Amino acid sequence: MTASTLFDKVWKAHEVVPETAATPAVLYIDLHLVHEVTSPQAFSVLRSLKLPVRRLDRTLATMDHSTPTTTDQVFGNVPIKVDAAARQVRQLEHNAAEFGVELFGMRDARRGIVHVISPELGASRPGMTIVCGDSHTSTHGAFGALAFGIGSTEVGHVLATQCLLQRKPKSFAVNVEGRLPPGVTAKDLILAIIGKVGVSGGTGHVFEYRGSTIRGLSMDERMTVCNMSIEAGARAGMVAPDEVTFAYLQGRPRAPQGTRWEESLARWKALVSDPGANFDGSVDIDASALEPMITYGTNPGMVVPISGAIPRSSGDAILDKALGYMGFKGGDAMLGKPVNTVFIGSCTNGRLEDLEAAASVLRGRKVASGVHLLIVPGSQAVKRDAEAAGFAEVFRAAGADWRESGCSMCLGMNGDTVAAGQYSVSTSNRNFEGRQGVGARTLLASPLTAAASAVRGRIADPREFL
């Protein structure tokens, strides 16, 4: 028997019809996550063809992108301020009711960012195929699932048939060894990986994150790493499930229980790449040599160690345009650059451990005058946990703005935006032009770096706060 990768095994187990030269594989989808932005057009197709949702038990909807984060708009009587967003929220409520899809609506205690709630429910599990009309679906690969983003037409395909037509991507090993130094987080690791592989280096591939460093990461940290696989162009990122995964899942509401748990565990333990399995590509990373990382440009691959300098342009049109947009000069140090807004949250860094990290820096300190620090939990469950753990109190005492859950300032479509020309240190995943608002200038970093920069009012090295 030939040695298989983890990805090979999960793919093979979901082939309803294998691919041929003429036709792609018909791939079965175990879990379909649905949100308000990319689903309306898909439900319209089902309606026009008079088709039902094939597997309601494998479909879960929530609202996160367009939803406001102020308590008065979510739980009070204040209407959603962005009219189009309000219509989109109502449309999902309508579609879920019409088709019978389970929806965690606006005031549901289980609502949150789609990539935060499914893991915390125990709905994202090893060996599954998971899709959503959202490129950060790669997050769920942290559980050893094959999880990837799809377009709205494909959302319709999965709603109607629970399957997708797919060509099998290639495999790519991301080998990470060594201990992450203090103050260097999973976010810094994935930014360093993207910096090394490039923003299209993973195109056509599924990453498997491997090595002792990855084994030593918590589930929250693995999710941060897998979340940004797409920023290197990879379709998905996976981590083989292990005791850390199993301990996280056991007892969660939708995880198997009793004898089903034991049966599942036996299956999950086989979900590793066999010794000698062949990968189509690979990269090696020494985690012990990493520093906190921060982006200076307009894609996540434009990244430097925080003590580093912005690269000097040598007639590179891409770099020149990026630096022009950012208002930066080649050769300048990143430390000490001005900051107007700090955003801590998103499907990348909106989980409890991220908020704990932010609280560790903010405890007993104040946000610098003139800086707006917005902290948005990834889900209502994370919000409750952060309040119970005392983090929310730390945030409020520091002068931060503490909100209801949602995608918030990661993308400017819900009322939370960064003003034109302003600098935003953000724990989110994309520093594209205008991502956080028209003309907004985004610097991606870890929650530690974001919190440290909020306190200093300038780009700061979080290691000075440890």
Partner 1 sequence: MEPLKIVSSRTVVVPLANVDTDQIIPARFLTTTTKDGLGQRLFADWRYLPDGSPNPDFILNQPSARGCQVLVAGRNFGCGSSREHAPWALVDYGIRAVISTEIADIFRSNALKNGLLPVMVDETTAAWLIEHPGAEVTIDLDRATLTLPTGVPVSFPIEAFARHCLLNGVNELGYLQSNLAAIERYEASLPAGA
Q: Which of residues 38-97 bind partner 1 (CB under 8 A)?
A: 38, 40-41, 44-45, 49, 65-66, 82, 84-85, 87-88, 91
Q: How far is the CB of 135 from partner 1 (least distance, A)?
A: 4
The conformational region for residue 10 under phi > 0 = left, psi -120 to 50 = alpha, else beta, is: alpha
Draw the binding track, 17-36, toward partner 1 (x: CB under 8 A; -: no contact): x---xxxx-x-x-x------
Output the smallest distance, CB 465 to partner 1, in A: 32
Q: Restricting to residues 119-138, which ones interact with partner 1 according to CB under 8 A?
A: 127, 133-135, 137
Q: How far is CA 126 from the centre of its chain?
A: 18
- Minimum distance from residue 84 beta carbon to partner 1 (Å): 4
Using CB under 8 A, which of 72, 263, 284, 464 touches partner 1?
263
Residues of span 201-260 touching partner 1 by CB under 8 A: 203-204, 230, 233, 235, 256, 260
Binding-site string for partner 1 from residue 182 to residue 201, where x marks contact by CB under 8 A and - marks none: -----------------xx-
Q: How far is the CB of 264 from partner 1 (least distance, A)?
A: 7
Beta carbon of residue 87, minimum distance to partner 1 (angstroms, whole number): 7
**Pairing status of strand 15-17 against strand 25-28:** antiparallel
Q: Is 163 in the site for partner 1 (CB under 8 A)?
A: yes
User: C-alpha angle with apex 191: 188 to 192, nearest 5 degrees?
Assistant: 85
What's the closest the beta carbon of residue 119 comes to partner 1, in angstroms?
A: 18
> Nearest distance from residue 449's CB to partner 1, in Å?
23
Residues 420, 440: contact at Cβ < 8 Å?
yes
Compute the distance between CA of residue 315 and CA of residue 60 in angstroms, rounded to an integer.
49
Does residue 309 interact with partner 1 by CB under 8 A?
no
Nearer to partner 1, 289 or 318 (CB): 318
116-121: long-range contacts, CB 8 A cutoff, minimum separation 24: 116/347, 116/350, 116/351, 116/378, 116/379, 116/382, 116/405, 117/62, 117/379, 117/381, 118/31, 118/33, 118/60, 119/143, 119/219, 119/223, 119/248, 120/252, 120/379, 120/381, 120/382, 121/252, 121/253, 121/254
Contacts (CB under 8 A) with partner 1, residues 369-428: 411-413, 420
Alpha helices in 287-340 (DSSP H): 317-326
* Position among 47, 107, 167, 396 found at the interface with partner 1 (CB under 8 A): 167
CB distance 266 to 246 below 8 Å:
no
Which two structure tokens, joined as six digits, stand for 114?
Answer: 């789609």
Task: Rounding to the nearest 10 degrees, give the CA dihedral for residues 358, 405, 65, 443.
Answer: -10
Q: Which residue has the tokens 């090993």?
A: 173
CB-count burial class (<10 Å; 0-12, 13-18, 19+) for 15: middle
Candidates 112, 144, 169, 350; binder of partner 1 (CB under 8 A) is 169
What value, to the nearest 5°, has the Cα angle with vertex 118 and ends 17 and 72? 140
* Touching partner 1, residues 312-371 (CB under 8 A): 317-318, 321
Question: How many positions of this chain bind partner 1 (CB under 8 A)?
Answer: 72
Report the nearest approach of partner 1 to the CB of residue 398 (Å).
Answer: 29
CB of 22 to partner 1, least distance (A): 5
Nearer residue to partner 1 within complex by CB, 168 or 384: 168
* 466, two tokens: 């440890």
Sole window of 104-112, 146-154, 269-277, 307-315 interacting with partner 1 (rule: CB under 8 A): 146-154
Site for partner 1 in 101-120 (CB under 8 A): none
